[in-house]
Structure 1
Amino acid sequence: MRNLLLTISIFICSGLQAQNISTYTQRLNENWQFVREDLGGIWEAVRPVKEGQPEALPLWEDIELPHCFNASDAVDPDVNYYEGPGWYRTKLHIENPYENGRTLLLFEGGGQKTDVYIGTEKAGSHVGGYDEWTVDITEQLGSFPSDFNNVPLSIRCDNSRDLEMIPSDLSDFNVYGGLYRYVNLIYVPETYISQVHIQAVIGDDEKTGQIKIDGLLAGDRSNKTQLKLQLFNQQNELVEEELINTANETFERELTIKNPKVWSTDDPYLYNISIELTVNGQRQKYTDRFAFRSFRFEEKGPFYLNGERLLLRGTHRHEDHAGVAAAMTEDMIRKEMQMIKDMGANFIRLGHYQQSRIVLNLCDSLGILVWEEIPWCRGGLGGAIYQEQAKRMLTNMITQHFNHPSVIMWGLGNENDWPGDYPEFDKNAIRAFMSELNDLAHRLDSSRKTSIRRCDFCKDIVDVYSPSIWAGWYRGKYTEYKDVSLEEMKRVDRFFHAEWGASSHAGRHSEDPDMGLEHVRTGGGADERSGDAALVGGQARVSRDGDWTETYACNLFDWTLKEQETMPWLTGAAFWAFKDFSTPIRPENPVPYVNQKGVVTRDLTPKESYYVFQSYWSKKPMVHIYGHTWPVRWGKAGESRLVKVYSNCEEVELFLNGKSQGIKKRDAQNFPAAGLYWNVEFESGKNHLKAVAISTKEKYEDEFELDYQTQTWLPATQLKIEEIEIDKQYSWIKVSALDQNKVLCLDARNKVSFSVAGDVQLIDNLGTPNGSRVVQLANGVAKIKIEKEGERYSVAVQSQGLKTALLTQ
């Protein structure tokens, strides 16, 4: 275990929470300045500035942390996102309460290369955008003996392209720059606890729990140290207490407790640990959480948690959000993770890099099992510097996140069969390095499994392998899912299906979602191959030839979920991805530079597909009529139209315009919508739908109104623009595609561009369907929000081949 204690891992939160090494901790969120360019040297960041003199350059902007270089330009449709250096600066107020204590800066993550300066003196550096790291600034503070209220802290971050760094810039996500995770100021005594690893194992009799604790001390080791160790249950009741005396750099202790309670996805029971250090009359308190649980992947079979089969129902997460990119606050992260749990997920793959401890803490407390991986992603294999970074990040990931009971797999890479960064692509070299990482991971942590996704020539190296299966999107049809998965399962010892799904443009729906897909071939496998993700060339496929409707995506999800329920050998699967996210390699998508495979948009607005998953996975009763984001349906007068209801309740009754359409009983194997579907005849114009679900004699309801359009339309010839006022400050600008008869063209998918002039600005660069100034129409309509700064302004909407629409106030 001692070789695990290679890095300092700290998480900042209150009470007996995950890994907090000091009571004296402060998040440095406010009073920062930033400039997105390089400086000539550190003196430019700290030199005295007099207003109006040349020394005032460059111009710094006031910001708060967390902060990302690319909060806007990652999804700007007109530019490549910025990759280069940027500088941050602030003044520290130092009040270390410990005599001869140490002052630390903890970086929870920052991209991608970071240098730290106190005054003009360099205090530390780090390479890698996703692991935590700490800089001891005690010695540098000696240069400021008389003014601890204004200690200059300057930080240079750099996300420039670098072929000797991971991840590859060929990755399907932005390699962000900035201090996009929290920075913390920490005070500790001259001798302090820097790391603790906890292994909790249930005894064979299931009536006892063995706890092995390994700790690392840092700082001055000239004096003996006393440690007071306390264990508490989830109710904060004292379970065990011991005193430890040590004169070494490490300490160990093994404890046994009676009748341990296990952690599970339904009941994530956590124990708390407190270790109080006393040396020379000074005290430090370390707190953390841990849990008892066991798991196994049966060879050629399912997954077991605490001895019982558990179908892993999962998704994926990128650290990305509208308006802030990677700089998600704790509140944003908490909201997202709660939505994932409310959807019914019990598993998540953190793609494609180690993520914030806030995420891991929430997985622990919410009951979400985790596959976490290092960012060795695409491009091939670099040289010695590249490989050293990968090994260092793997070591850091395991040592820093070792105590989280939610983690069951350490991912070693993603799509490492994808060439492009180097003239040569050497499969044997990749295999050799993958083996080296696999051995390292097992040495660091023998209790968890290793895993990779999509690198067939390395599938025999790791413990758990996920092939590429995209039935119904990049290859084949979704009805092939079960057969293809069974064949892939037979090729490896332990199979898991990571990444499946479909892109959907939120707000786009279809009365015939399979139209035009008759040329998609079946029987040739459903893996993603070179060029399949492109929107041009290659064989017929839904990703290129489909219309990216929510309707089709829901059908694909619905079919696949019902099949997964009937695959007794399946360990589990994780659809890609929970939330739409930015990517530099998809400029032609309906929302430019956004991967739209999420079941929520980039601002966490649920798409219809969110409720498909909830209907299969959630244990909390729910009912949702498909089409809340489908305001206008169409067809002939008197023509039957399908209405689907997603629910996990036993039976549902549907009402159209107050009249019952009958009661349907839920049957998970009755596609679509588990049998909760009706063919109804809408009236021309306004219609009201209401669904009443019954579960254990309780009623749950959902309802909304829609228009039914019976007028047919010709190709679009004009754009209609209108302003819909929200309040005195904000309005929606809505554009509609009309034909020569001014009939709404409900299948129009034209790309439109919004622009403004005068006392107004667009609320754009959010990477959402309603927050991009360039976007494809959804059922003939698009909209964007404006902020009004006065009474005189103009808005224009352009689309190739159509006359520009103008609105002037």
Structure 2
Amino acid sequence: MMFICGNLSAQQSVRLNHNWEFLKQDIGGIWEALRPVTAGNPESVPLWQAVNTPHCFNARDAVDPSGNYYQGPGWYRTQLDIANPYPQGRTILHFEGAGQKTDVYVYNVKVGSHLGGYDEWTVDITNAVADFKQNPVFKKQFKGKIPIEIRCDNSRDLESIPSRLSDFCVYGGIYRYLNLVYTPALSLDKVFASAEVDSEGKSGRLSIKARFYNPQSIAGANANVVIIDPQGKNIRHSDTQLTSLNNDEAIGLFTIDKPQLWSPSKPLRYTVEVTVSTPDGIFKQTEKIGFRNFEFADNGPFMLNGKRLLLNGTHRHDDQAGVAAALTEDMLRTEMQMIKNMGANFIRLGHYQQSRIVLNLCDSLGILVWEEEPWCRGGLGGEVYQGQARSMLTNMIEQHYNHPSVIIWGLGNENDWDGDFQEFDKQKIRAFMQQQNNLAHRLDPSRKTAIRRCDFCKDIVDVYSPSIWAGWYRGVYSEYQSVSQTEFKSVKHFIHIEWGGDSHAMRHAEDPYQGLPKISAGKGADERAGDANLHGGDARVSRDGDWSESYICDLFDWHLKEQEKMPWLTGTAFWTFKDFATPVRPENPIPYINQKGVVEHDMRPKEAYYVFQSYWADKPMAHIYGHTWPVRWGNEGEQKMVKVYSNCDEAELWVNGKSYGTKKRNSQDFPAAGLHWLVVFNKGENNIKVIAKKGKTIIKDEISQVYQTDKWSKPAKLVLEKLGEENGVATVQVKIIDDNQVQCLDAANWINFSLAGDGRLIDDLGTSSGSRKVQAYNGRAIIRVESNKGKSVVGVQSPGLPSVFLDL
């Protein structure tokens, strides 16, 4: 955001990323945050640590296998040089998101508080700064700088949302960007740009309103609006003299013939520049908008700009290895580009308002959005709870009103899930859901409302998603279409949000259906209480399956082929793009990780990523299944299936220099859209290569796999070895073998890594190769060690097997 005052033009919004100190506990009083720490003085407690923002309390402990993550207060402090260049200007701290309750101090004066971890908010510190500059300690103790202290708290609180029963971590910290902002005496709080176009795209209408920040009660201003088309040409402008600055004031109304339309394939955006002038200064704000027309046809598909568009979607949480919720702009850009490269045109931002950076990327990349308020699980609290829900819904809609990517405001998730309160009253939940639905439509009549999984409220919202987990929590995946069609007929506007299942990265199976014969179709495909547990209840894949990448690729493959022949389907979004931390799944193969992502917690793609690419992506691609499957097994001479996921028209497979023929892609030929071959492997090393063609484009992929014919008995020993070292980081692998030294390729034993010495285990990443406690994948597990230029000993313990050690 660029602010301009008179002839002065400078970037007047600065990210406060550096020079912070952090304390992961509470303090006895604000004076403890102001007391200087003397180096080497053991009485200088508590001890603060230097950090940069964005920063999350739970960057590591959310995936620490030894116990649940920290939920409590934490403090940040810094000292700022503050010199507002505007006469009579305002100095503001702008939080893009901090969790979950936040108090802000200038020196020892509390200047603001906020409840809610996901919406943006500001604190005007102008007066507090001016007052502190009169304090003698300003120059003496703080050397002319302004001390800022911030307390964040993610403690459990029944009267706040989201519920701590939710299947994700409710993080603490300044985990989105914090900005120091200088404005003139009068500035823009928000600009609302409503872009409408008819379904044929012939006529566009753009109406613009402004809300002002006017603490000094300035009486009037001039508002200048300029509209710039996607090619950078100024096409409209207006000047308005305003004598009222107290409400949302109309500052522009424009008609645009044949506007260039925004769509996933061509995300064309117009620029709206609003400049507000008074004798005290000039404030300029820029917004990006798009013209598009969308409709959920009654009992039919989704329409964008007059044509059917199948919504091919996923989900995301603000959660990544090593940082938890504190993702940088570069991290967010990488993730959203990977989602687009996968071919997605739709995303549900579950289960809370997300960063403006994410929304900007959805706009520019062409990804339609369902964004959601964090009313998730637990029931319905009292007035504080409901007031927060109203506030967060309002803030989400107003702060993201201009984004052309947004088509749905989500009002809740799994609101039929009780547990936080003694009372669970469906009628009260219905009444509040109706209030929230009315509020959303009053704030923004142009978008739809939706919820997922709360059948007793499905008639309230515009679009509804039931719970359908065919082939995971209930039933078999082959009944997906029939179950979906039954649910489709029960509402006017149906969408399928959340489907898929867990997979343990690098675990593969020759027969992923072994152990599943007791699971039968016809008994529903919804998720029910207790289904996520790994014990008890009815037979189900989530409990009885092997969690292999082999199974989950088949499940995704089947769903995607079926969706192509469901002409009434609006769309779906599988759960979820990336593995994420959760406090309610300590028994998973990676403890405290929901493993339903198609990329790992550190963004490494699993095999399933390429299944989606093969159906959705436009750019030619080909991927042989098994890049992370070094050893296959079976009998000598036995035929084994090789699958290639590709969006090319045809592909030829070569194994050990022999062609196994060319096959045409046919999405309805399961699995892998017909690109599967039966192959006889050599014992030992095998080279596998595919050459795929799409028009004149040729795509190649190649892997090597060992074929093991030796049979193994029960696990008896562990073998620990160093695979290699690069840039001071060693990769260590443990194998599980039987008494005859044969690797047990179906072994899923628990592995516990430890280390003594100068090095450091690279763990607490929540990944299959970045956790010190992890289930083996095909009789092995990997971890990395940072040597720190010293000596270390790696240890591995597995229940029932002798421990082993390795000197590094």
TM score, norm. by length of structure 1: 0.96
Report the counterpart of residue 124 of structure 1 in structure 2: 112
1:242 aligns to 2:238 (yes or no)? yes
The CA deviation at 1:51 is 4.1
Report the counterpart of residue 168 of structure 1 in structure 2: 163
Q: Distance in 1 between matches of 2:403 and 2:319?
A: 23
The CA deviation at 1:792 is 2.7
The CA deviation at 1:204 is 7.3
Report the counterpart of residue 389 of structure 2 in structure 1: 390
Letter of the aligned partner of 1:352 in structure 2? H
1:431-580 to structure 2, matched below 5 A, reads 431-580=430-579
Letter of the aligned partner of 2:132 in structure 1? F
Letter of the aligned partner of 1:407 in structure 2? V
Report the counterpart of residue 594 of structure 1 in structure 2: 593
The CA deviation at 1:638 is 0.7
Native 8 Å contact 1:371 1:411 kept in 2: yes
The CA deviation at 1:509 is 0.5
Report the counterpart of residue 629 of structure 2 in structure 1: 630
Q: Distance in 2 between matches of 1:106 and 1:214?
A: 22
The CA deviation at 1:692 is 0.5
2:556 is paired with a residue whose SS is helix
Q: Summarize deviations over 1:464-516 as a string: whole Å, max 9, x none.
A: 00000000000000000000000001111110000000100000001111111
Q: Distance in 1 between matches of 2:200 and 2:442?
A: 28
The CA deviation at 1:707 is 0.5
Q: Summarize deviations over 1:602-638 as a string: whole Å, max 9, x none.
A: 0110000000000000011111111101110011111
Report the counterpart of residue 71 of structure 1 in structure 2: 59
Letter of the aligned partner of 1:464 in structure 2? V
Report the counterpart of residue 62 of structure 1 in structure 2: 50
Q: Distance in 2 between matches of 1:206 and 1:161?
A: 49
CA 1:298–1:149 in structure 2 vs 1: closer, same or farther (change >3 Å)?
Answer: farther
Q: Distance in 1 between matches of 2:767 and 2:699?
A: 31
The CA deviation at 1:424 is 1.8
Native 8 Å contact 2:204 2:256 kept in 1: yes
Letter of the aligned partner of 1:167 in structure 2? P
Native 8 Å contact 2:92 2:123 kept in 1: yes
1:142 is paired with a residue whose SS is helix
The CA deviation at 1:224 is 2.3
The CA deviation at 1:699 is 0.8
Work out which of the residue numbers 202, 222, 228 in structure 2 matches 1:226: 222
1:93 aligns to 2:81 (yes or no)? yes
The CA deviation at 1:760 is 1.4
Q: Summarize deviations over 1:425-458 as a string: whole Å, max 9, x none.
A: 1111111111111111111111111100001111
CA 1:479–1:76 in structure 2 vs 1: closer, same or farther (change >3 Å)?
Answer: same
State which drifts further: 237-246 or 761-770. Answer: 237-246
Native 8 Å contact 2:746 2:778 kept in 1: yes
1:660 aligns to 2:659 (yes or no)? yes
Native 8 Å contact 1:223 1:279 kept in 2: no
The CA deviation at 1:235 is 2.0
Q: Summarize deviations over 1:542-565 as a string: whole Å, max 9, x none.
A: 000000000000000000000000
Native 8 Å contact 1:643 1:677 kept in 2: yes
1:722 is paired with a residue whose SS is strand
The CA deviation at 1:79 is 2.0
2:394 is paired with a residue whose SS is helix
Q: Distance in 2 between matches of 1:275 and 1:209?
A: 19
Report the counterpart of residue 304 of structure 1 in structure 2: 303
CA 1:13–1:519 in structure 2 vs 1: closer, same or farther (change >3 Å)?
Answer: farther
Q: Distance in 1 between matches of 2:552 and 2:3?
A: 42
Q: Distance in 1 between matches of 2:785 and 2:676?
A: 39
CA RMSD after TM alignment: 1.5
Q: Distance in 2 between matches of 1:378 and 1:457?
A: 14
Native 8 Å contact 2:375 2:412 kept in 1: yes
Q: Distance in 2 between matches of 1:116 and 1:281?
A: 28
The CA deviation at 1:205 is 7.1
Native 8 Å contact 2:205 2:255 kept in 1: yes
Q: Distance in 2 between matches of 1:361 and 1:758?
A: 46
CA 1:609–1:13 in structure 2 vs 1: closer, same or farther (change >3 Å)?
Answer: farther
1:539 is paired with a residue whose SS is coil
The CA deviation at 1:724 is 2.2
Q: Distance in 1 between matches of 2:560 and 2:10?
A: 46
Letter of the aligned partner of 1:532 in structure 2? D
1:397 is paired with a residue whose SS is helix
Letter of the aligned partner of 2:600 in structure 1? T
Q: Distance in 2 between matches of 1:565 and 1:793?
A: 54
Q: Distance in 2 between matches of 1:66 and 1:55?
A: 30
1:199 aligns to 2:179 (yes or no)? no
CA 1:634–1:14 in structure 2 vs 1: closer, same or farther (change >3 Å)?
Answer: farther
Identity of aligned residues (%): 59
Letter of the aligned partner of 2:155 in structure 1? S
Q: Summarize deviations over 1:97-130 as a string: whole Å, max 9, x none.
A: 1001001111000100000001111110000000
Q: Summarize deviations over 1:768-796 as a string: whole Å, max 9, x none.
A: 00000000000011010001124432111
TM score, norm. by length of structure 2: 0.97
The CA deviation at 1:22 is 9.1
Q: Summarize deviations over 1:307-355 as a string: whole Å, max 9, x none.
A: 1000000000000000000000000000000000000000000000010
Report the counterpart of residue 211 of structure 1 in structure 2: 206
Work out which of the residue numbers 108, 112, 119 in structure 1 matches 2:96: 108
Q: Distance in 2 between matches of 1:403 and 1:226?
A: 22
Report the counterpart of residue 343 of structure 1 in structure 2: 342
2:421 is paired with a residue whose SS is coil
Q: Distance in 2 between matches of 1:727 and 1:612?
A: 31
2:482 is paired with a residue whose SS is helix
Q: Summarize deviations over 1:696-752 as a string: whole Å, max 9, x none.
A: 122110001110111011011000001123236110110000000010100000001
Work out which of the residue numbers 177, 182, 186 in structure 2 matches 1:182: 177
1:143 is paired with a residue whose SS is helix
The CA deviation at 1:590 is 0.5
Q: Distance in 2 between matches of 1:423 and 1:533?
A: 23
1:408 is paired with a residue whose SS is strand
Letter of the aligned partner of 2:225 in structure 1? L
2:788 is paired with a residue whose SS is strand
Report the counterpart of residue 5 of structure 1 in structure 2: none
The CA deviation at 1:808 is 2.4
Report the counterpart of residue 740 of structure 1 in structure 2: 739
Letter of the aligned partner of 1:248 in structure 2? S
The CA deviation at 1:203 is 4.8
Work out which of the residue numbers 229, 248, 251 in structure 1 matches 2:249: 251
2:325 is paired with a residue whose SS is coil
CA 1:96–1:486 in structure 2 vs 1: closer, same or farther (change >3 Å)?
Answer: same
Q: Distance in 1 between matches of 2:129 and 2:483?
A: 62
State which drifts further: 199-208 or 627-636. Answer: 199-208
CA 1:728–1:200 in structure 2 vs 1: closer, same or farther (change >3 Å)?
Answer: closer
Report the counterpart of residue 672 of structure 1 in structure 2: 671
State which drifts further: 273-282 or 772-781. Answer: 273-282
Q: Distance in 1 between matches of 2:38 and 2:496?
A: 60
Letter of the aligned partner of 2:67 in structure 1? V
1:78 is paired with a residue whose SS is coil
Report the counterpart of residue 4 of structure 1 in structure 2: none
1:318-329 to structure 2, matched below 5 A, reads 318-329=317-328
Q: Summarize deviations over 1:35-75 as a string: whole Å, max 9, x none.
A: 00001111111134444557621100000000000000000
The CA deviation at 1:242 is 1.5
CA 1:23–1:644 in structure 2 vs 1: closer, same or farther (change >3 Å)?
Answer: same
CA 1:206–1:80 in structure 2 vs 1: closer, same or farther (change >3 Å)?
Answer: closer
Native 8 Å contact 1:33 1:63 kept in 2: yes
Letter of the aligned partner of 1:163 in structure 2? L
Report the counterpart of residue 148 of structure 2 in structure 1: 153
Gaps of 5+ in 2: none
Native 8 Å contact 1:23 1:284 kept in 2: no
Report the counterpart of residue 28 of structure 2 in structure 1: 40
Aligned residues: 793
2:726 is paired with a residue whose SS is coil
The CA deviation at 1:290 is 0.4
The CA deviation at 1:222 is 2.9
Native 8 Å contact 1:22 1:188 kept in 2: no
Q: Distance in 1 between matches of 2:316 and 2:276?
A: 37
